[in-house]
Chain A
Amino acid sequence: MRRILKERDRLLEMGSRSIGMGATATAILCISVPGAIALPGYLLVLICLLLLALCQYRLVSPTPSLWLTATLAVGLTSILVVGAAAAPQNIASVSAVVVIASGSLGSLAIMLVSSAGRRVFLAVGLAMTLGAALAVILSGPKPTPEAVALILAGWAACAVIGVWLCRAVPRVITRISRMGQAYRAERLASEAEARRRQGARLLHDTVLATLTLLAHSGVGVSEQALRQQAAEDATLLRQLRLGANPTPHSSGDYNLRPVDESSLGNTLESVKQRFRRMGLDVTWHGTGHVLLPSEVLDSFLLALAECLENVRRHSGVSQAHVTITDDDATVRAMVTDAGIGFDLDAIEQSRLGFTESIVARLRDVGGNARLFSSPGSGTTVVLEVPK
């Protein structure tokens, strides 16, 4: 709150200062018209007005009240000095007095509306200003009511600006700081969303591979295959995009994607297509439509793709079978090939990349993987993830 008041007062002081100094400059121009005030008097008035400008300049300071009082005192003195130096009054001296009274002193009204004590100051200041100005104006030629009207208009306009600034600044600052909440939420959401997208590694791996192929003009790949790959990747990206909309994505169940977009079947089909292009025929068995939270689905597909990649590289056969089953709590995939197999005891599992790339990823989402194999009788991997 203290800071808000400080900002408010600074704006009030700056408003007072610029209006006041502008008016004082105008008053100096008025008395500088040749013949307005005779020379010794002119110098005295000039000194008064320069002093007034100095006081006004210092209004933006740690001790504004002091300079407020000083400005009023010097301003009133200036009015009286102009009156005394110019007597008998002429148009120029009256103009200068009106400008000082309505502008140089009227500008103080901006600062004088900010508290009850200052409003008393405002009333006293206005009364003293009117008194001093009238004393000079009435002694001049053809006194007119407009002069008084202009003084009152100057004070009134400045007071309106001051009242508005007093009200608007705290209100606006409070309102903006309430937006801090929104920024914090936005930060968290950005963090979560970035994590989700970064987490979709399988997808980005294939997208990056395709983009890199395109960047090299698709050298070495048939046009048809490239088009198909691009179509699939575009679909996957679309799913990722729609997964974020319109619901938030960071808690509980609503991570599920819409049925059409995210059924496991569609996604498995794309994995199958990809491996066929690379020379491994994958045959699908069992449940096609299983819904999984996107994070789990990604890990599951990543693990599945790793298994199929292992089959493609090491099994020596060009066909693999994947059986998907699910119950209330778990989705299970069994990847089977009739390849050469291997002796589990003879080869460390870590050397297959099995632990790192498959088991670890599944465990991250609460799943598990088991490996069964013996030389000559193929390999079976069972992947499990919770629903």
Chain B
Amino acid sequence: MKTPGRAAAHTMIGVSHLGMALTITVNIVLLYAFSVFLIRHDRYSSPALSSAAWGILIVTVLTAEIATAKRTEPLPDWSFWAYLAALTVVVALDVAGAWGASTRFAYPTAAAATGAALLVAALSRRTRDILAPTAVLAITLAVTLSSSARTDILTLASDIMVLAFSLAPPLLGAGIVHAFRVLIMLEADRVQVQSTITAPAFTVGLHASEELARLDLDAERLLQAVASGSAPLPLGADQTAAAATLATKLRSHLIEGRRQTWLYHAIAESAFLGPAVQLSDPHDLAVLLSPAQRDGLLSAVWLLISEPIKPGQAVQLVIGASLTGRARRRRGHLVPITIATTGVPRKSVDPAIWEAVRRVGSFTETPRGTNFGITIECRVGNPVDQ
């Protein structure tokens, strides 16, 4: 029921905005590193090699920046490998140029700047495609910096600074891009979950018709194969089994009673709530909730686990649990709802949750050690009147 394709499409929306900011950041870092090189170019072991490295780096980065500007689709795979190859050449030339010179404060500046240059590709590549070259760069720089005969141990400090300077941009850039992608994914999922607020009380899933259409198409293909003779009769074991499976699935899809409550679909279709929330609603009482109450309940559950789920975190949602004595004496139609949590620390919960819960009904909090629970008395209209 998860739709990675859709999530990927959403990711592209945000990522296109990110390009400009990263480009400016990369250029700031490059400008700084280049000016440091210019100030000290006469101290390098072979200035020509380092100059060549800078020439290649500037051309490569500018080319990449122009190629990725205003582009919504990722560049072809080979272009990233070509970019990495060019950066490797830069690192090799610069390391050769600055070999043994770090005690004279001549650092491999172009090589250090390749870390920032990786950011140009951070948008279109997976995080590990950025982190792996960064690790290689770290080792290369560490080896280069320790290549010079050290007379003053204190120069180690400026070596550390150079290393940090070259590694910080790719690490942090990759981190920010990753955080941004997660944000977009969560938002998209939340919007999908919220679309159930106005859905009919009992409904088929978002993808039910897709599934049914696919089954119909599979059946059509099989029957067509039989009709045209491309599947010889009697059918082989594989096709016989396929026909039986298709018939079973099709039958189960066609049964009217297959409709589920909006809440079931909201949780089952969400890539995010699905794995963390256990719903128990044996009498389908969720259908009685008004749109405002639905919104409140979904927001509350969402806020309980709004970070990427940690192992051991779970939320049990029980609709129609037995009422407490006090509640039972009250008049009117009450749907009791209990939310029990595991591994969700009470103090880390967003305070907005209480406002969300209040929209569902009057509630009491039941702390249970490190876990905590919420019991809501949800007042609903008489189902007969609805």
Contacts and interface: CB of A to CB of B under 8 A. Distances in A.
Interface of A: 3, 7, 11, 14-15, 18-19, 22-23, 26, 29-31, 33-36, 62, 90-92, 95-96, 98-99, 103, 144-146, 149-150, 153, 156-157, 160-161, 163-165, 167-169, 171-173, 175-177, 179-180, 183-184, 186-187, 189-194, 197-198, 201, 204, 207-208, 210-212, 214-218, 223, 226-228, 230-231, 233-234, 237-238, 240-241, 244
Given A33-B153, A183-B195, A197-B216, A211 B10 contact: no
B256 A153 contact: no
Contact of B161 (A22, A98, A216, A240): A98
Contacts of A231: 223-224, 226-228
Contacts of A234: 220, 223-224, 227
Contact of B164 (A23, A176, A226): A23
Contacts of A92: 154, 156-158
Given A172-B187, A217-B235, A241-B220, A194 B157 contact: no
A230 B222 CA distance: 8
B142 interface: no
Nearest to B39: A146
B206 A157 contact: no
Interface stretch (B59-67, B247-255, B272-280, B315-323): B247-255
B157 A237 contact: no
A244 B176 CA distance: 44
A29 B160 contact: yes
Contact of A91 (B28, B155, B253): B155
Given A91-B158, A168-B18, A179-B10, 20 more contacts: A15-B172, A18-B175, A26-B164, A29-B157, A30-B157, A33-B156, A150-B32, A156-B28, A157-B28, A160-B25, A172-B17, A176-B10, A176-B188, A183-B191, A183-B195, A187-B203, A190-B207, A201-B254, A207-B223, A244-B213
B229 interface: yes
5 pairs of A and B residues whose beta carbons are closest in the complex: A164-B21, A231-B227, A92-B157, A193-B209, A183-B195
Contact of B229 (A18, A179, A227): A227
Interface in B158-204: 158, 160-161, 164-165, 168-169, 171-172, 175-176, 179-180, 183-184, 187-188, 191-192, 194-196, 198-200, 203-204
A319 B190 CA distance: 61
A191 B36 CA distance: 64
B302 to A, nearest CB: 11
Contacts of A168: 14, 17-18, 21, 180
Interface residues of B, number: 85
A40 to B, nearest CB: 19
Interface in B227-248: 227-229, 233-235, 239-241, 243-244, 246-247
Interface of B is mostly: helix
A210 B36 CA distance: 79
Contacts of B180: 11, 165, 168-169
B157 A91 contact: yes
A296 B329 CA distance: 52
